[in-house]
């Protein structure tokens, strides 16, 4: 114990890295200061010459309603068809109608609550 307290801890240090200059300073100051407004005006002039800005205000037709109807009819038909092969027990019918309701609710939420027109 006494040896540990008396022993001097070695001090470890990292060697200093040489600093490498990547961007050397300019030998002389630029003749004229940079003018942001002039640069922006030039950019605007070049942009206007290349292609005029056109705002498209036509409403695009959405396929969302058609896809929703197809999903509702097809998905519920598949669920009801699968449950029609099972025994006609009231509990099985309850599960079948619950599956139809849950599927309808999920598709409605995704199509009208989450998704946007496409």
If one counts the domains in the chain, the total is: 1
The pLDDT value recorded for residue 58 is 83
Q: Is residue 82 part of a domain?
A: yes
Q: Is residue 56 part of a domain?
A: no
Give me the long-range contacts of 100-107 (CB less than 8 A, separation at least 24). 100/76, 103/75, 103/76, 103/79, 104/72, 104/76, 107/68, 107/71, 107/72, 107/75
Q: What is the pLDDT of residues 10-36, one digit of tens each?
A: 777 888 888 887 777 766 666 677 789
Could you say which residues of the chain have pLDDT below 70?
Answer: 1-7, 26-31, 52
Q: Is residue 3 part of a domain?
A: no
Q: Is residue 17 part of a domain?
A: no
Query: Any idea what DSSP says for residue 31?
Result: S
The pLDDT value recorded for residue 73 is 97
Q: Is residue 44 part of a domain?
A: no
pTM, full prediction: 0.50
- What six digits make up the tokens of 111? 């199509």
Distances 75 to 34, 48, 78, 82, 93 between C-alpha atoms, Å? 64, 51, 5, 11, 17
Q: Is residue 68 part of a domain?
A: yes
Q: Is residue 92 part of a domain?
A: yes
Domain that holds residue 95: 64-114
Q: Is residue 13 part of a domain?
A: no
């Amino acid at each position: 114990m006494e040896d540990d307290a008396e022993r001097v801890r070695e001090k470890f240090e990292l060697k200093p890295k040489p600093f490498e200059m990547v961007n050397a300073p300019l030998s002389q100051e630029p003749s004229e200061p940079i003018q942001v407004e002039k640069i922006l005006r030039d950019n605007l002039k070049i942009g206007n010459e290349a292609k005029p800005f056109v705002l498209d205000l036509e409403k695009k037709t959405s396929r969302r309603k058609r896809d929703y109807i197809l999903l509702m009819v097809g998905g519920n038909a598949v669920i009801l068809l699968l449950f029609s092969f099972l025994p006609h027990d009231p509990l099985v019918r309850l599960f079948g109608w619950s599956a139809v309701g849950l599927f309808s609710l999920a598709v409605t939420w995704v199509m009208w609550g989450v998704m946007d027109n496409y």
